[in-house]
Amino acid sequence: QSLLTQPPSASGTPGQRVTISCSGSTSYTGNFYVYWYQHLPGTAPKLLIYRNNQRPSGVPDRFSGSKSGTSASLAISGLRSEDEGDYYCVIWDDTLSGLVFGGGTKLTVL
Amino acid sequence: QVQLVQSGAEVRKPGASVKVSCKTSGYRFTSYDINWVRQATGQGLEWMGWMNPNSGNTGYAQKFQGRVTMTRNTSISTAYLEVSSLRSEDTAVYYCARVIMVRGVDYGMDVWGQGTTVTVSS
């Protein structure tokens, strides 16, 4: 049971906007930053969003992140077939002194 | 450009150990922490621990404490992950990743190795 809960799956058609949620355990106070990683089949994971809503250089602005309290969301607009893969939210847990990954959301582009 | 290149696939029997390397290039090795993350078969990504290449300090996920060792060789800019007492559940792809931390601000894991498949089977 992950301390970060994500829906196991999400889907959308090309051009659509989809959102993936990430809900923190009730034990969290909300004083944490959320990071999002994209993991496409056969590739290494890729950083999409850091510190809740910041995009690294080279990440398209189709990807955006937000956070409110202990919940966060990743939004992907203008959905493309190449976006199909797994998406993970990640936080640093001070109590565990370690990173915590959400269970991951498998995004399907219909 | 910044690269993390990992060693090749390994096959081990249950109870054995495996050591995976992560050779870095394109930046000062001692300036950024290295995380290790794995993906077991059919599972999601799982953080294993971190290492500071400058000091050699490490931090391991509770699940792996006592069974995982992270080390480095600064002369060849290479980080290592050793997992002992392997069991079938350790069959996974293991990734190293550079952590960008600047003046206490964590910018995430920006560059990843290509992954190393470790298969544990009798």
* pLDDT tens profile A31-77: 889 999 999 999 999 999 999 999 999 999 999 999 999 999 999 99
- Given a cut of 80, whether residue A9 has pLDDT beyond it is yes
Nearest CB to B44 within list A56, A88, A98: A88
Rounded distance between C-alpha atoms, residue B19 and residue B36, angstroms: 12
Q: Tell me which residue of A20, A14, A9, A12 sits closest to A78, measured CA to CA.
A: A14
Q: pLDDT value at position B105?
A: 86
Q: Which residues does chain A have within 8 Å of residue B45's beta carbon, measured at their own beta carbons?
A: 37, 39, 45, 88, 101, 104
pLDDT at position A110 over 80: yes
Report pLDDT for A25.
81
Low-confidence ranges of chain B (pLDDT < 70): none
Minimal C-alpha gap between B67 and chain A (Å):
16
User: How many A-B residue pairs are in contact by the CB < 8 A criterion?
Assistant: 61
Q: How far is CA B47 from the centre of its chain?
A: 9
C-alpha distance from residue A95 to each of A1, A32, B51, B100, B118 (Å):
17, 12, 19, 22, 30
Instruction: Report how far residue A39's alpha carbon sits from residue A17's, in angstroms, rounded to the nearest whole number.
Output: 19
Mode of pairing for the β-strands spanning A85-93 and A105-109: antiparallel
